[in-house]
Amino acid sequence: MAQPAQPRTAVTRLTGKLSQCTGCGEVFGGLRAFDEHRVWRGDRRVCLDPAELGYAILNSPNGTRWGEPVDPAFTAMLRSKESHQAT
């Protein structure tokens, strides 16, 4: 089984809404991103790559964290992908 990659985000201190995953070590700016990257596979939870979910590495006062991408065009593109079946 492949070793999980090193986390790409890190903070010196968890403050406010920041949460760090005990599975992959990544830091998230909110519960939504955190919950989305932890999915059930059978009877265990696994971590997905936040980048593949459309999240971006953002600067935080204490370091870096995953969060919503700031580029509105990128966000709109992701939203349209989600509703692709509507066409």
The residue ranges that bind Zn ion (CB under 5 A) are: 21, 23-24, 47
CB of 87 vs Zn ion, minimal distance in Å = 33
CB of 84 vs Zn ion, minimal distance in Å = 26
How many other C-beta atoms can be found within 10 angstroms of the C-beta atom of residue 26?
A: 26
Nearer to Zn ion, 17 or 79 (CB): 17
CB of 37 vs Zn ion, minimal distance in Å = 6
